[in-house]
């Protein structure tokens, strides 16, 4: 789950508790949780190999087919 939702439920990212996940109904019991960790934000760099007719900062390029 994302950090803002965890914090909104009175969770502490520095000292996370499985009780917060129970409160949020993500798990049925605190004993179901073995480890909680904070996964930091990840940034991706996208480099287009073809000019993008939608602009340099558009999320998709119609010329690039998966």
Tell me the whole-structure pTM to 2 decimals.
0.56
Residue 10 is assigned to a structural domain of this protein: yes
Domain assignment present for 46: no
Tell which residue, 17, 23, 29, 24, has the closest CA to residue 1: 24
Q: Kindly tell me the burial class for residue 16, based on how many C-beta atoms sit within 10 Å of its own C-beta (0-12, 13-18, 19 or more).
A: middle
State residue 63's pLDDT score: 86
Q: Confirm whether 24 is domain-assigned.
A: yes
Task: Note whether residue 52 is domain-resident.
Answer: no
In-domain check, residue 61: no
Residues 11-65 have pLDDT tens digits of 998 899 999 999 999 999 999 999 998 877 787 777 767 788 999 888 888 988 8
Task: Please state the domain count of the chain.
Answer: 1
Which residues form the domain of 11? 3-32
């Amino acid at each position: 789950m994302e950090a803002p939702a965890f914090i909104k439920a009175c969770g502490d990212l520095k000292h996370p508790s499985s009780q917060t996940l129970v409160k949020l109904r993500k798990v049925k019991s605190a004993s179901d949780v073995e480890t909680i960790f904070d996964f930091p934000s990840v940034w991706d760099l996208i480099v287009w190999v073809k000019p993008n007719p939608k602009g340099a900062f558009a999320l998709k390029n119609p010329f690039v087919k998966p």
